[in-house]
Structure 1
Amino acid sequence: MHKKENIFMGMINKQRLLARFIELLKIKSPSRNEKEIIQYISKILKKLEIDTKIDGTGTKLGSNTGNLTCYLKGDLKNRLPIFLGAHVDTVCLEGDIIPEVKNKRIVNENKNCILGGDDKVAIAAILEALQVIKEKKIRTGDIYILFTIAEEVGVLGARHLDLKDIKAKYGFFFDGEGDVGTIFNEAPYHNNFNITITGRAAHSGIEPERGINSIKAASDAIAALNPGRVDSQTTYNIGLINGGSAVNIVPEKTNITAEARSLKLDKLDKISGYIKETFSIAAQKNGAKADIKIKREYDGFKIDDGEISMQIAKKALMNMGITPRVVSTGGGSDINIFNAKGKMAVNLSAGMENVHTNKEYVKVSQLERLATLILEICNTEV
């Protein structure tokens, strides 16, 4: 183990870190209901004399609060400013979260519910790192911290966050699954499809010949497609289908929701065109009409090895004795939005496992390691 890890790991207040993580887990914060957790974070940061600001994004999204942005003024003027971040919302949950430590893992005693470690493990680790910086008077450059709302419902908080006051170009989000040590430097472009097939209603027992069955037209299209993985960089999925109004009526309308993702924009355009053409042809063959709306959910990105954010992340991990693992991901996150706005951020694994399920857990050792990594990042220059 690198001796520098001993320094920073020794600075972490492990009991406080674990206790705070458990407190965060107990706060219910499903998307658009993040007020309590934002207030909790703000209270801690204000005690640390770190500037905080809640924006007006909540009113645009129907949330009861906005994004929280924070600023820690550093005293190393020659050090590049950086930003750190995590989202504060969780997927919808059923029942209470009752955290317990079992076999050196934090789990939910309520086995019918998520834990909520996504992304509260990052919140706890960031707060601990900032508190250590303040307590130990560790010298750093300027650090901006972004706590976003409504990430789980389409990275909506990040979309509406005004970055004009975030003077740092290089950033680090901690929203990846798996043990600390993975850097996600590439994420996909993502299109959503809303497709409406319109046929003609008719009584199915008296005059079915007059009807045009929109469900059949949609089914023909789906049968002609082969949803799933196209190649190592591209996927698409037919996610939702809803049609018809009664069992004795030939269904007039059918709605389909689909998505496509690719690390390469030209491949996304190609598969999107294929999906559109397939539904159009199937509708036409059945005498129906297809209304197809394609929306770019977010742009993809790739951060090359030479970029400063990559250099800092890799060096910080190596300082801890961890060999960095650099991979692409098929999922999107807040940094898709931030990088599209001109930032250069990477996503890092945060030690959470089986997220969005009732089998979710976080190892205590990974929580401590994540807080140590954030301290390393704040103290690494390249």
Structure 2
Amino acid sequence: TTVNVGIIKGGQVLNAVPEKTNVNIECRSQSHEKCVRQSNLIKEVFLVAAKAIGAQAEVKMELSMKASHISEDAEAVRIAERAVSSVGLKPNVRIICGGTDASNYNEKGIETVVMGMGVKAEHTKEENIAVADMEKAVDIIQHLFKELSEKQE
């Protein structure tokens, strides 16, 4: 389970306590239940801390996606493995804790996998990808299109 305090906004001047502050927090987990528990704990901490000093806290919680899991034997996984193998790479099936549209599709019963492209230093200002890795990603996508279009015939 991962918690990230991504945005803190408040105040007008440097030498005063702000009248109002907004804090945006994201919680992700491979378990929906753990994520809900952690989110509720964070909410409770804000409410109790505010009350202890005579302040008020308004906590809004929003579910943007649920943790999802599909079997390593799922057809979507097998298709992805074949596509990765087609460019001479060894597929590496693993669980990620990232927030992607795949979670929303899986929640609706559409088996979906996330495929990495060799990106380094993700979510930092140093994020990058080698041209050769990007070219392999294009080849993988072409393989996916070819295999999936042949299945439709």
Q: What is the TM-score when the length of structure 2 is the normalising length?
A: 0.78
Corresponding residue for 2:58? 291
Task: Name the structure with the higher helix share.
Answer: 2
- Structure 2 residue 74 is the aligned partner of structure 1 residue 307: yes
Aligned mates of 1:373, 1:263 — CA distance in 2 = 27
Q: How does 1:1-382 map to 2 (within 5 A)?
A: 234-246=1-13, 251-354=18-121, 359-380=126-147
1:278 counterpart letter in structure 2: V
Q: Distance in 1 between matches of 2:115 and 2:70?
A: 13
The CA deviation at 1:293 is 0.5
CA–CA separation in structure 2 for the residues paired with 1:336 and 1:321:
28
Larger Rg computed on CA atoms: 1
Q: How far apart, CA to CA, are the structure 2 residues paired with 1:240 and 1:265?
A: 23
Give 1:349's aligned amino acid. Answer: G
Tell me, in whole angstroms, the C-alpha distance in 2 between the residues paired with 1:352 and 1:248: 42
- Residue identity in the other structure for 1:243: G
1:330: how far off? 2.5
Q: Distance in 2 between matches of 1:245 and 1:356?
A: 29
SS in 2 for 1:237: strand
Give the letter aligned to residue 36 of structure 2. D
Letter in 2 for 1:273: N
Q: 2 CA distance for matches of 1:356 and 1:247?
A: 29
- The Cα of 1:258 is off from its aligned counterpart by 1.3
Size of the alignment, in residue pairs? Answer: 149
Amino acid at match of 1:350: M
Higher strand share: 1
> 1 CA distance for matches of 2:11 and 2:43?
22
Distance 2:2 2:136 in 1: 33
The letter for the 2-side match of 1:336 is S
The AA in structure 2 aligned to 1:255 is N
User: Partners in 2 of 1:370 and 1:247 — Cα distance?
Assistant: 48
Alpha-carbon RMSD? 2.7
What is the alpha-carbon distance in structure 2 between the residues aligned to residue 357 and residue 241 of structure 1? 18
CA deviations over 1:138-187 (Å, ceiling 9, x no partner): xxxxxxxxxxxxxxxxxxxxxxxxxxxxxxxxxxxxxxxxxxxxxxxxxx
CA distance in 2, matches of 1:372, 1:246: 53
Change (3 A) 1:284 1:310: same
Q: 1:356 to 1:273 in 2, by over 3 A?
A: closer
Q: Is the 8 A contact 2:72 2:93 kept in 1?
A: no
Residue type of the alignment partner of 1:287: G
The one-letter code of the counterpart of 2:3 is: Y
Is the partner of 1:345 in helix, strand or coil? coil
Q: Which has the higher contact order (CA 8 A, sep 6+)?
A: 1
Please report how far the alpha carbon of residue 353 of structure 1 lies from its aligned counterpart in structure 2 after TM superposition.
Answer: 3.3
User: How many angstroms apart in 1 are the aligned matches of 2:131 and 2:15?
Assistant: 58
TM-superposed deviation, 1:249? 6.2
Q: Is the 8 A contact 2:47 2:56 kept in 1?
A: yes
Instruction: Specify the SS of the correspondent of 2:98.
Output: coil
Query: How much has 1:314 moved relative to structure 2?
Result: 1.4
Q: Which amino acid aligns with 1:307?
A: A
SS at match of 1:259: strand
User: Contact 2:86/2:140 (CA < 8 Å) preserved in 1?
Assistant: no
Distance 1:310 1:248, change over 3 A: closer
Q: CA deviation at 1:347?
A: 1.3
Gaps in structure 2 of 5+ consecutive residues? none
Letter in 2 for 1:314: E
